[in-house]
């Protein structure tokens, strides 16, 4: 980038500034006041640097953007033209006293500056930075040499990791390495969901446990269960079944020896015995059903009571909510929509008025020629034109004030309506929710009452069945006892005893077989459970394998991201880039020192530890004078500028020195002037100074002359 020209009006304390950089290679920036040429402090010399800085980066040193408009002025403007990569560009910034700001960008095409301003200011800023290829921090570190910040890199503490990092951080901005910190954060943001996904999958894997061990154990248990089932089936089919069959044959043989009357009695005894057994079982079942039904009735009544209490509470809330005063959502929405339309219309009118106001201000010719036709204009025409424009400006200003007040009122109404609309929507939602809740509770109450009624009918029916079967059981027991008494009085008492004994043994065998069947059924249930468990755990194993595969991929992806993040961290690429620049930086710094103070030399290692020499003898930095510190700092800045521009593939042909000579002796000033003469072959050099001895060494000066209503800046060859 090579500067071409700078134009500014009412910027900071400057009333007017016009500099054509093509007329010189280097220039002093000196200041004076109309009352006293000896007074030069605070007249606005450094403001020239601030104007360039603002034009390029929308930033100003030691002040805020809202302070750049000269006191008493309505608007500040700066135009800075520069050439880069063979193309010429111009950037213009304006800021009104009311904080309205604009940025415009132009490119020199077909012998004129043509606008390349983007749709929005933000997009124009991006376009400008694409052209410059230089960040604000890089500009400060490679172009602008301020006395106050010359020694930052040199006087950073050396030795130790934290201090090396400090020096490395100083080098990061001009080398544009801070983008790696942004990339590091971007990768860190990508890592967060991956870690979260890993944690979720690890949690899922923990829940699934170890399916392989469970499958193995379940298969072992299944094998044992199948063996037990086989064993019990064998016992039932062999030992118990054979013994039972033998007992039944014996019983049949004994019964065959009985008389017909005795056989009939025994047959009746067995029938009654079976009947008693069935009645006992039925009564037991009915008793359990009755208990369950009564429990159901109690449970449903308890739930019914709770639901009735809940209904009362919800109905009370509904009544309270219904009593709240809210306008209808439809009516508020209609009003809100109209206010939004009014706001949109008002913003358009305000923007149009501001543009017309700005246009009217810009339409007043700043020279004696018409802005449109470039023809000379008379004083009378100018006066009449300015009077007409002033009326338009006042009219537009009045319109702007009116629209702004209307917008404030509109926004206030919109905010109020938005709040009211939210409240009305919430109220309608609450009413709807409470209504649905009430209906749901009522349905539950009806269901509970129906369940209670049905259960009470069932309980009554079960009670009646219990009474009937209890009566039947008593009659069956009495009949059984009567029959048994008759059998006991029979003449064949001994035979009857044997028959009853074998019958009891048969009953024991039958019970044993029934018990075995129950145990076998339990084992078969266990068999089914184990098979189902094996099946489920096999499915779990598949899920776990899928999770582990995903975890493997996620961990691999995490590892890659972590390595990428590490490469973007201060231990990675930035440090590598800095280390590759060290030899070049040392060479460029010492070349600059040769031009300033040939007796000084600086050496530094890969850890950014500096060693200083004077006339070949090593010196501690604090053994050198302040003036020598300035030489070293200037050399570092000059060297850093060369290295950064080379590494970033850009060319900045501008150096700005802001009172860096204030601590130099006569020989130092002479050396600096000689160095500038050499450096001006590659750079346009602007030097702010109070040193009169430098005046004879420069053919051009940029004179900042302060008056009552601001400073005027001009280029002179004698001053």
Q: Which of 85, 100, 175, 89 is nearest to 128 (CA)?
A: 89
Sign of CA dihedral 62, 63, 64, 69: negative
Q: Which helix (H) or strand (E) holds 323?
A: helix 260-323
Evaluate if residue 303 carries a pLDDT over 50: yes
Choosing from 445, 461, 491, the residue where a domain stops is 445
In a domain, 633, yes or no: no
Residues 364 and 438 in one domain: yes
Beta bridge pairs of residue 3: 82
Residues 690-705 have a mean pLDDT of: 84
Residues 258-262 have a mean pLDDT of: 54
In a domain, 356, yes or no: yes
Choosing from 541, 560, 591, the residue where a domain stops is 541
Q: What's residue 614's pLDDT?
A: 92
Residues 364 and 349 in one domain: yes
pTM to 2 decimals? Answer: 0.49
- The residue behind tokens 């954060």 is 185
Evaluate if residue 167 carries a pLDDT over 70: no
Q: Which residues of 170-189 are buried (b: 16+ CB within 10 A; e: fewer)?
A: bbbbbbbbbebeebbeebee
Rounded Cα distance between 47 and 710, Å, is 12
Residues 433 and 528 in one domain: no
In a domain, 273, yes or no: yes
Residues 591-598 have a mean pLDDT of: 86
Rounded Cα distance between 261 and 516, Å, is 37
Residues 254 and 340 in one domain: no
In a domain, 374, yes or no: yes
Rounded Cα distance between 25 and 77, Å, is 25
**Residue 307 binned pLDDT confidence (cut-offs 50, 70, 90):** confident
Range in 7-16, 150-159, 239-248 with the lowest mean pLDDT: 150-159
Structure confidence by residue, pLDDT tens digits, 47-59: 999 999 999 999 9
Q: Residue 606, exposed/middle/buried by CB under 10 A (0-12, 13-18, 19+)? A: exposed
Range in 66-70, 382-386, 549-553 with the lowest mean pLDDT: 382-386
List, as one string, the DSSP characters of 357-411.
Answer: HHHHHHHS-SSSB-TTT--B--HHHHHHHHHHHHHHHHHHHHHHHHHHHHHHHHH
CATH code, domain carrying 349: 1.10.287
Residues 395 and 308 in one domain: no
**Residue 372 binned pLDDT confidence (cut-offs 50, 70, 90):** low
Residues 425 and 498 in one domain: no
8 A C-beta contact, residue 28 and residue 34: no
**Residue 147 binned pLDDT confidence (cut-offs 50, 70, 90):** low
Q: Which helix (H) or strand (E) holds 554?
A: helix 493-568
Domain holding 242, by residue range, is: 211-320+483-541
Residues 350 and 431 in one domain: yes
Evaluate if residue 161 carries a pLDDT over 60: no
8 A C-beta contact, residue 705 and residue 711: yes
Evaluate if residue 486 carries a pLDDT over 70: no
Of 68-72, 100-104, 643-647, give the range with the top mean pLDDT. Answer: 100-104
Evaluate if residue 394 carries a pLDDT over 70: yes
In a domain, 342, yes or no: yes
Between 673 and 175, name the one with better pLDDT.
673
Residues 312 and 346 in one domain: no
8 A C-beta contact, residue 629 and residue 591: no
Rounded Cα distance between 479 and 324, Å, is 78
Question: Quick one: how far is CA 634 from the chain centroid?
Answer: 43
Cα–Cα distances in angstroms (integers) from residue 305 to residues 98, 296, 298, 437, 615, in the given order: 70, 14, 11, 17, 103
Structure confidence by residue, pLDDT tens digits, 22-50: 999 999 998 888 766 666 777 889 899 99
Residues 361 and 434 in one domain: yes
In a domain, 548, yes or no: no
Residues 511-517 have a mean pLDDT of: 82
In a domain, 315, yes or no: yes
Choosing from 541, 568, 591, the residue where a domain stops is 541
In a domain, 66, yes or no: no
Residues 389 and 312 in one domain: no
Cα–Cα distances in angstroms (integers) from residue 704 to residues 60, 148, 691, in the given order: 19, 22, 15
Residues 264 and 331 in one domain: no
Total count of domains within the chain: 2
> Do strands 654-658 and 144-146 pair parallel, antiparallel, or not at all (unpaired)?
parallel
Q: What's residue 47's pLDDT?
A: 92
Residues 403 and 342 in one domain: yes
Rounded to 5 degrees, what are φ and ψ at 20? Answer: -105, 105
Between 394 and 493, name the one with better pLDDT.
394
């Amino acid at each position: 980038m090579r500067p071409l020209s700078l134009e500014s009006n009412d910027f900071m304390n400057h009333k007017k500034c016009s500099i054509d950089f093509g007329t010189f290679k280097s220039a002093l920036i000196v200041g004076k006041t109309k009352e006293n040429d000896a007074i030069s402090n605070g007249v606005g010399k450094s403001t020239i640097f601030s104007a360039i800085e603002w034009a390029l980066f929308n930033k100003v040193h030691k002040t805020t953007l809202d302070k750049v408009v000269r006191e008493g002025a309505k608007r500040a403007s700066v135009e800075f033209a520069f050439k880069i990569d063979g193309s010429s560009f111009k950037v213009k910034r304006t800021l009104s006293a009311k904080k309205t700001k604009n940025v415009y960008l132009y490119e020199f095409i077909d012998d004129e500056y043509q606008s390349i301003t983007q749709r929005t200011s933000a997009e124009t800023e991006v376009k400008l930075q694409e052209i410059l290829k230089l960040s604000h921090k890089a500009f400060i570190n490679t172009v602008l040499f301020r006395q106050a910040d010359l020694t930052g890199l040199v006087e950073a503490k050396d030795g130790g990791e934290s201090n090396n990092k400090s020096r490395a951080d100083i080098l990061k901005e001009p080398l544009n390495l801070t983008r790696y910190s942004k990339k590091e954060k971007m990768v860190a943001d990508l890592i967060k969901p991956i870690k979260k996904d890993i944690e979720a999958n690890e949690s899922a894997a923990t829940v699934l446990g170890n399916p392989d061990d469970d499958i193995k154990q379940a298969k072992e248990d299944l094998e044992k269960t199948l063996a037990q089932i086989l064993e019990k089936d064998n016992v039932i089919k062999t030992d118990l079944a054979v013994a039972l069959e033998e007992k039944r044959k014996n019983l049949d043989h004994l019964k065959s020896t009985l008389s017909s009357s005795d056989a009939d009695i025994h047959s009746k005894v067995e029938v009654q015995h079976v009947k008693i057994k069935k009645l006992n079982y039925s009564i037991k079942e009915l008793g359990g059903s009755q208990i369950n039904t009564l429990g159901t009735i109690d449970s449903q009544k308890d739930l019914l009571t709770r639901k009735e209490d809940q209904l009362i509470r919800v109905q009370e809330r509904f009544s309270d909510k219904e009593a709240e005063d809210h306008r209808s959502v439809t009516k508020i929405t209609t009003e809100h929509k109209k206010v939004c339309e009014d706001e949109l219309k008002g913003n358009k009118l305000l923007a149009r008025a501001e543009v017309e106001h700005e246009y009217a201000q810009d339409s007043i010719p700043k020279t004696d020629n018409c802005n449109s036709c470039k023809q000379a204009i008379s004083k009378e025409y100018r006066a009449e034109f300015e009077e007409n424009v002033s009326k338009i400006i006042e009219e537009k200003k009045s319109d702007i004030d009116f629209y702004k007040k209307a917008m404030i009122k509109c926004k206030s109404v919109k905010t109020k309506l938005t709040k009211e609309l939210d409240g009305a929507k919430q109220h309608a939602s609450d009413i709807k929710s409470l209504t649905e809740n009430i209906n749901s509770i009522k349905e539950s109450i009806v269901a509970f009452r129906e369940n209670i009624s049905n259960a009470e009918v069932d309980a009554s029916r079960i009670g009646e069945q219990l009474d009937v079967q209890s009566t039947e059981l008593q009659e069956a027991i009495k009949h059984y006892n009567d029959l048994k008494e008759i059998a006991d009085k029979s003449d064949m008492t001994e035979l009857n005893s044997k028959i009853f004994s074998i019958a009891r043994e048969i009953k024991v065998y039958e019970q044993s077989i029934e018990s075995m069947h129950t145990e076998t059924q339990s084992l078969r249930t266990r068999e089914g459970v184990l098979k189902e468990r094996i099946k489920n755990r096999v499915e779990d194993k598949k899920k776990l394998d899928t999770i582990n595969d995903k975890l493997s991929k996620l961990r691999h992806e995490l590892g890659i991201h972590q390595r990428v993040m590490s490469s973007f961290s201060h231990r990675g690429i930035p440090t590598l880039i800095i280390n590759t620049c060290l030899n070049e930086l040392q060479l460029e710094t010492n070349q600059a020192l040769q031009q300033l103070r040939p007796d000084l030399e600086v050496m530094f290692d890969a850890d950014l530890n500096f060693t200083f020499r004077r006339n070949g003898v090593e010196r501690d930095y604090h053994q050198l004078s302040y003036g020598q510190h300035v030489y070293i700092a200037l050399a570092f800045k000059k060297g850093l500028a060369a290295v950064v521009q080379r590494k970033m593939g850009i060319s900045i042909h501008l150096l700005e020195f802001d009172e860096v000579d204030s601590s130099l002796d006569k020989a130092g000033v002479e050396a600096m002037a000689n160095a500038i003469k050499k450096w001006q072959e590659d750079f346009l050099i602007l030097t702010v100074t109070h040193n009169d001895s430098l005046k004879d060494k420069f053919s051009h000066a940029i004179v900042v002359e302060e008056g009552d209503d601001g400073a005027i800046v001009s280029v002179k060859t004698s001053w």
